[in-house]
A and B are shown apart, each in its own frame.
Chain A
Amino acid sequence: MRLVYDGQPIEFEGGDTVALAAIRNGQHPARGGTLCLAGDCGNCVATIDGTSWVRTCQTLALPGVIVARHPDGVNPTMLGPDTAADIDVRHLSVDVAVVGAGASGVAAAAEQRTAGHDVTVYDAGQGSEVVGTFAGPSLIVRTATGIDHVHAHSVVLATGAAELHPVCPGNMLRGIYTQGAADAIAAAGIDLGTTVTVSTDVARFEAAEDRPGAVAVVVLRDGTRHECDAVIVAAGSAPRDLLARMVPNVRVTIVGPAAAAHDLPPAPTGGVICPCSKTTVEDLQGVWDKGFNELELVKRASLCGTGTCQGSVCGPHLQAWVGERKGERPLPFTGRPAARQITLGEAAAGYHIDTFRRTPLHDEHIALGARLDKFGGWSRPWNYGDPVAEYWAVREGVSIGDVSTLGKMMVSGPDVVEALERIYPNHVHDIKVGRSRYVINLSERGHVLDDGMICREDETRFLLTFTSGGASVAEMWVRDWIETWGLKVHVLDRTVSHGAINVTGPLAGQLLQRLGVDAASMPKFLQHRHLDVAGIPCHVMRLSFTGESSFELHHQIHHSRELWQALLHEGRSLGIKPHGLQTLFGLRLEKGHVIVGQDTELDSTPRRINMDWAVKLDKPRFVGRDALIRTAPLPDERRLFGFTMDGPAPLEGSVIRPTTGPAAGEVVGHVTSSWDSPLFGHAVLLGWQKRLPHSDVVEIDGREARVSAVPFYDREGARARM
């Protein structure tokens, strides 16, 4: 069998790793340096099938695999297609996970089995690389077929010890092996030629002129020289405890050599201490002499330990080197994931960034050619191709909009009025059955969180609505408060169980009558009724966001499409058109209705958005009351204003500058909403002035704009009551 090594086919034997295949062919899998073949160091990394920085000693050789050594001294390029193969992710629960199948792992596994536990053993040598230990305890394990996310009742780390690499001049030559690597090479039937075995007594390695880059002579500290083809280094070991040091706060058991005390090697005096970052002992001395006098400072200044092996090779040597200078053994640096190799593609596998919801009318919108976009976690129609036509349908005829995304919550119970009185700053007790009221929610700091409607169903039952974006927070908000206060209230969030269609426009009532609602039972403004529309049971709420007569038809979602189609069909002769969010935003802006989150800021009190009318400070208790009372006497510069100006409407976000006064020419705020009103023929805006005195005339987008009373449209609110 052959694989491709730097463009040339080379032979390998079954069971060879890529590193062994290279060695079998007289090559170094990378460009030099001691090989451990145990996955501890970064000296054998290469680009394999387009992925760089792969430890060849942990990668099984396969026919046709393309291995490219990293270029000398510079970073590797990426090869091949970008797209990663589909990576299989498994979520596994195990009883006892033992990491390491060496002697200590085998012993630990046997002990656990004797104690009656199910034991699963993970060992890199057997194809299961443990990338990290995490809270749980859990392990992330990279296997030949994918990534295992392992949740264990307990974890035993029996990772053993890693052989120390030699740090001395010449240690980046080819032909230097740890004892373990040499054993593996011998077991694979590979002859290294004349070998010399050394320990910590090695002074330096030298190459011969005829074989540059390869070790030919090893010189010992006693001055003796030994010619050889390869050097085997048996210089002791250090705990392989990266996985253990990764989780100081997670209970794992560490056994065997991984937990045993180890002597540090003698402090190195020359050579490359960190092969991954190419840091030399001279570099260490250089930073030390410059005053970098802590192990972490030495690391950060010299980059020693910041490469592929994350200090597995250099750590003990660096500890010894710094310890010699400070007179005490420094702690090793923090262990961090990833202990073994994992790519971003492998880490990402099986993860879903977010989930977008669809309303029950999704397919209808697509059939109508809507431009859909994502808003607050939902796919919603932005427009149906002609927002101005949609606008006129609302203002002069009838239109329907999908408002299924509104937060919808039913609350019921003996304490429900008390609970709502505390949650909302407006009065609740005096809302009559069958009536509804616009309300805002405040945070404890008195800042506007959300807005919506309260509909009273009977004495102890209400339906609450919230904004689409605020619905999920609102549910937690309501539940948290009710639980905190210990009030008896049942809560049902039915946001996704109920659809809602807003039928709006001067002809909206007429359309509903055509669909079976008799004139007498038609709800008046701010009333709500349970009525059949087109034979479908609906909770009909008469309110208005658009400024026109509007009926929100709340219904069970299995009826949504039928209801939508019936409205469109019956409305055809009334010129009905559906409208999207773009038009809705313009319509409501003409009415001066704020969109919480777009027109408001994190610290918008009701006063700042001119909504003190929605707050009843005479109430004894509601969320945010204390803050509003505390801040009421404070001077307040920040205020939301309506503006008008000639079109075209400036971009939302345009800055606002007073043209006169002390802040003339300075940025005092920005436009939060902007719309070319087809009806008025000029632009209407909402925006902030955050500096006193507030100006009546400002500059926006280099043009003059004037403060205007809001609403811009139908100030008396007559049309909504038509």
Chain B
Amino acid sequence: MNEFVETLLDLPWQTETEPNHTYDVVIIGGGGHGLATAYYLATRHGITNVCVLDASYIGSGNSGRNTTIIRSNYGIPEAIAFYQESLSMYEGLESETGCWVMHNTKGQLWMAHSTGTARTEQTRVLMNNACGAPSDYVSPAEIRKIVPQIDLTGGGRYPVQGASYLHGGATARHDRVVWAYAQGALRAGVHIFQNTAVNGLVKDGGRVTGVTTSKGSISAGVVLSAVGGHVSTVSKWADVRLPIRTHTLQAFVTNAYAHEFAPIVSSNDLVFYVSQTARGQMLLGAEYDRQASYDRGTSFAYLQSVSAKAVALFPFMAKLRILRSWAGICDISTDFSPIMGYTNTPGFLLSTGWGTWGFKAIPAAGSQLAKLIADDATPDLIKPFALSRFEREMAMADPSSAGTK
């Protein structure tokens, strides 16, 4: 067996083939967020009567479709604190779960190609350092040392003026993160049912008391929606209206090459990002599609524009071959920040608004939501991200959270 297979741990599925009638917690969505919440409920709070339901296989949504980037260099203190917690938890995930998730701290450069964006990146560095995410503003010469493949003239059109450099920027294999949490949750007694579509919520008075599924109804103490892409539908069942639009987000990967491409590189002006996978492939992404959509189709216009941007900064990539493109559908909130915790409907909790930045939040969101459910009180770290912030006119407006414009 190859190393990749050998190092996998078992997924110790429950012996039950059908869900029980009642659980303390039912989680809709068997992606990273749903599974991490179940894992922390079971392992940190002793709440093991938990069921995670997924319409397809675990990690079939955005958890298995992202670009695996972990970073904390946001624009507002609340977000930096939250994502830095997540970044730190990722660093300990392998030792905690015993699963090799191919975590690799490699640093992230965010390039600026104009006076205006240089100012933005400088601002990012100052704010990040003040809020616990160590960063430096680096010169073109320093950038070249970090990533020698760069053309500092940006193809003559996008000269690199500088970059913010987040030392803790990292990547981890997305599937393996999903599996690490699934394995741990299953070991702790959580039930996970694949191919089990939730098609409605059970309500008693104003309270959500369970879910209806393709395998029958299930009662629940609380229901957490951890779905990606169709959260508006699920929330509507709970009479919760969300400030969210769903958009297609594409990405693609190239064939592998032997040279090391050390950091994660993003460009503020060009709006794309690239990193190298453990297998040597270049993994590229950019903005979400402007048109709101539930379609997971890919477009050539996307491949074309991202390729052009990548080649402008990294001429060697012109010769790399596009191996596979794909798309996910992501939930973008009006302030570009996530929404976590209570809604106005008792019994119904949310983990959503993960937009283009959900993977990196998995450990922190999962552990904080588990704490919220266990204590029936919102932990301070995620208080600013409550849905009620929109009623209170206290948006967490953070356009840089998307890594896009």
The answer to whether A and B touch in the complex, with CB atoms under 8 Å apart, is yes
At the interface, yes or no: B377 with Cβ under 8 Å from chain A? no
Q: CB-defined interface of B289-324 with A at 8 Å, one 1/0 digit per residue?
A: 000000101111001110111111001111111111
Give the residue name and chain of the B residue nearest to A652 (CB).
Answer: B119
Of the listed stretches A302-310, A359-367, A551-559, A708-716, name the one at the interface; the rest are far from the partner chain: A302-310
Q: Determine how close the nearest CB of chain A comes to the CB of B316; give it in whole angstroms.
A: 5
Which chain B residues lie closer than 8 Å to A248 at the CB level? 297
Do residues A53 and B57 form an inter-chain contact, with CB atoms below 8 A? no
Do residues B304 and A348 form an inter-chain contact, with CB atoms below 8 A? yes
Give the residue name and chain of the B residue nearest to A607 (CB).
Answer: B393
Q: Determine how close the nearest CB of chain B comes to the CB of A694; give it in whole angstroms.
A: 16
Q: Determine how close the nearest CB of chain A comes to the CB of B40; give it in whole angstroms.
A: 21
Question: A287–B2 Cα gap in the complex (Å)?
Answer: 11
Question: A294–B182 Cα gap in the complex (Å)?
Answer: 15
Give the residue name and chain of the A residue nearest to B325 (CB).
Answer: A337
A291 touching B307 in the complex, CB below 8 Å, given contacts A53-B321, A603-B393, A670-B127: no
Which chain A residues lie closer than 8 Å to B119 at the CB level? 652-653
Question: A249–B131 Cα gap in the complex (Å)?
Answer: 46
A351 touching B300 in the complex, CB below 8 Å, given contacts A338-B324, A344-B318: no
Which chain A residues lie closer than 8 Å to B315 at the CB level? 82-84
Do residues B318 and A345 form an inter-chain contact, with CB atoms below 8 A? yes
Q: Determine how close the nearest CB of chain B comes to the CB of A183; give it in whole angstroms.
A: 28
Do residues B4 and A303 form an inter-chain contact, with CB atoms below 8 A? yes
- Dominant SS among interface residues on chain A: loop
Do residues A382 and B126 form an inter-chain contact, with CB atoms below 8 A? no
Do residues A283 and B399 form an inter-chain contact, with CB atoms below 8 A? no
CB within 8 A of B397: which of A247, A293, A350, A603?
Answer: A603
Do residues B297 and A76 form an inter-chain contact, with CB atoms below 8 A? no
CB within 8 A of B2: which of A283, A292, A307, A638?
Answer: A283
A290 touching B9 in the complex, CB below 8 Å, given contacts A282-B1, A667-B77, A670-B127: yes
A336 touching B324 in the complex, CB below 8 Å, given contacts A286-B5, A302-B5: yes
Question: A336–B298 Cα gap in the complex (Å)?
Answer: 8
Q: Which residues of A from 586 to 615 have beta carbons under 8 Å from B?
A: 601-603, 605
Which chain B residues lie closer than 8 Å to A605 at the CB level? 393
At the interface, yes or no: A134 with Cβ under 8 Å from chain B? yes
At the interface, yes or no: A631 with Cβ under 8 Å from chain B? yes
Give the residue name and chain of the B residue nearest to A345 (CB).
Answer: B318
Do residues A667 and B57 form an inter-chain contact, with CB atoms below 8 A? no
Question: A301–B59 Cα gap in the complex (Å)?
Answer: 12
Which chain A residues lie closer than 8 Å to B60 at the CB level? 296
Give the residue name and chain of the B residue nearest to A350 (CB).
Answer: B304
Q: Report the contact-size class of chain B (Cβ under 8 Å from the partner).
A: 35 or more
Which chain B residues lie closer than 8 Å to A82 at the CB level? 315-316, 318-319
Do residues A667 and B131 form an inter-chain contact, with CB atoms below 8 A? yes
CB within 8 A of A343: which of B12, B309, B322?
Answer: B322
A603 touching B255 in the complex, CB below 8 Å, given contacts A134-B299, A348-B304, A654-B126: no
CB within 8 A of A300: which of B59, B114, B116, B130?
Answer: B59
Which chain A residues lie closer than 8 Å to B21 at the CB level? none
CB within 8 A of B304: which of A247, A296, A334, A347?
Answer: A347
Question: A37–B56 Cα gap in the complex (Å)?
Answer: 37
Give the residue name and chain of the A residue nearest to B157 (CB).
Answer: A353
Give the residue name and chain of the B residue nearest to A382 (CB).
Answer: B115
Chain A residues bordering chain B, tally (CB within 8 A): 82
Which chain B residues lie closer than 8 Å to A651 at the CB level? 122-123, 126
At the interface, yes or no: A2 with Cβ under 8 Å from chain B? no
Q: Which residues of B from 1 to 56 have beta carbons under 8 Å from A?
A: 1-2, 4-6, 8-13, 56
Do residues A51 and B1 form an inter-chain contact, with CB atoms below 8 A? no
Question: A652–B334 Cα gap in the complex (Å)?
Answer: 26
Do residues B334 and A348 form an inter-chain contact, with CB atoms below 8 A? no
Which chain A residues lie closer than 8 Å to B312 at the CB level? 353
A51 touching B319 in the complex, CB below 8 Å, given contacts A76-B258, A653-B123: yes
Question: A140–B303 Cα gap in the complex (Å)?
Answer: 11
Q: Which residues of A from 267 to 309 have beta carbons under 8 Å from B?
A: 278-280, 282-283, 286-287, 290-294, 296-297, 300-303, 306-308
Give the residue name and chain of the A residue nearest to B179 (CB).
Answer: A301
Do residues B127 and A667 form an inter-chain contact, with CB atoms below 8 A? yes
Do residues A337 and B298 form an inter-chain contact, with CB atoms below 8 A? yes
At the interface, yes or no: B194 with Cβ under 8 Å from chain A? yes
At the interface, yes or no: A342 with Cβ under 8 Å from chain B? yes
Question: A308–B324 Cα gap in the complex (Å)?
Answer: 9
Which chain B residues lie closer than 8 Å to A76 at the CB level? 256-258
At the interface, yes or no: A392 with Cβ under 8 Å from chain B? no
Question: A280–B310 Cα gap in the complex (Å)?
Answer: 34
Which chain A residues lie closer than 8 Å to B57 at the CB level? 294, 296-297
A344 touching B114 in the complex, CB below 8 Å, given contacts A78-B316, A286-B6: no
CB within 8 A of A52: which of B77, B115, B257?
Answer: B257
Do residues B297 and A602 form an inter-chain contact, with CB atoms below 8 A? no
Do residues A302 and B258 form an inter-chain contact, with CB atoms below 8 A? no
At the interface, yes or no: A427 with Cβ under 8 Å from chain B? no
At the interface, yes or no: B280 with Cβ under 8 Å from chain A? yes
Question: A445–B308 Cα gap in the complex (Å)?
Answer: 36
Which chain A residues lie closer than 8 Å to B319 at the CB level? 50-52, 78, 82, 84, 343-345
Give the residue name and chain of the B residue nearest to A344 (CB).
Answer: B307
Do residues B258 and A75 form an inter-chain contact, with CB atoms below 8 A? yes
Do residues B305 and A374 form an inter-chain contact, with CB atoms below 8 A? no
Q: Determine how close the nearest CB of chain B comes to the CB of A512; give it in whole angstroms.
A: 31
At the interface, yes or no: B365 with Cβ under 8 Å from chain A? no
Which chain B residues lie closer than 8 Å to A302 at the CB level? 4-5
Q: Determine how close the nearest CB of chain B comes to the CB of A390; give it in whole angstroms.
A: 16
Which chain B residues lie closer than 8 Å to A521 at the CB level? none
At the interface, yes or no: A103 with Cβ under 8 Å from chain B? no
Q: Determine how close the nearest CB of chain B comes to the CB of A675; give it in whole angstroms.
A: 13
Which chain B residues lie closer than 8 Å to A352 at the CB level? 308
Q: Determine how close the nearest CB of chain B comes to the CB of A108; give it in whole angstroms.
A: 24
Question: A248–B297 Cα gap in the complex (Å)?
Answer: 8
Give the residue name and chain of the B residue nearest to A337 (CB).
Answer: B325
Q: CB-defined interface of A660-697 with B at 8 Å, one 1/0 digit per residue?
A: 00000001001000000000000000000000000000
Question: A248–B327 Cα gap in the complex (Å)?
Answer: 13
At the interface, yes or no: A77 with Cβ under 8 Å from chain B? yes
A135 touching B297 in the complex, CB below 8 Å, given contacts A52-B255, A283-B2, A655-B127: yes
Which chain B residues lie closer than 8 Å to A351 at the CB level? 304-305, 307-308
CB within 8 A of B303: which of A280, A347, A667?
Answer: A347
Do residues A134 and B318 form an inter-chain contact, with CB atoms below 8 A? no
CB within 8 A of A345: which of B122, B125, B307?
Answer: B307
Q: CB-defined interface of A67-100 with B at 8 Å, one 1/0 digit per residue?
A: 0000100111110001110000000000000000
Do residues B393 and A341 form an inter-chain contact, with CB atoms below 8 A? no
A344 touching B299 in the complex, CB below 8 Å, given contacts A76-B258, A283-B5, A374-B114: no
Do residues B2 and A291 form an inter-chain contact, with CB atoms below 8 A? no
Do residues B1 and A283 form an inter-chain contact, with CB atoms below 8 A? yes
CB within 8 A of A344: which of B6, B125, B195, B254?
Answer: B254
Ordered nearest first, which 4 A-B pairs have the shortest CB separation?
A: A653-B123, A345-B318, A291-B11, A602-B397
24 contacts across the A-B interface (CB closer than 8 A): A51-B319, A52-B257, A71-B258, A77-B259, A82-B315, A283-B5, A286-B8, A292-B11, A297-B58, A300-B64, A310-B323, A337-B300, A338-B323, A344-B311, A344-B320, A344-B322, A345-B319, A347-B322, A352-B308, A353-B312, A382-B115, A638-B394, A651-B122, A670-B123
10 more CB-based (< 8 A) A-B contacts, given A76-B258, A343-B322, A345-B307: A52-B319, A78-B316, A83-B318, A286-B6, A294-B194, A306-B324, A343-B321, A347-B303, A348-B311, A353-B309
Binding site for B on A (CB under 8 A): 50-54, 71, 74-78, 82-84, 132, 134-135, 138, 140, 149, 247-250, 278-280, 282-283, 286-287, 290-294, 296-297, 300-303, 306-308, 310, 334, 336-338, 341-345, 347-348, 350-353, 373-375, 382, 445, 601-603, 605, 631, 634, 636-638, 651-655, 667, 670
Binding site for A on B (CB under 8 A): 1-2, 4-6, 8-13, 56-60, 64, 77, 113-116, 119, 122-127, 130-131, 157, 175, 179, 194-195, 254-259, 269-270, 279-280, 295, 297-300, 303-305, 307-312, 315-326, 334-336, 392-395, 397, 399
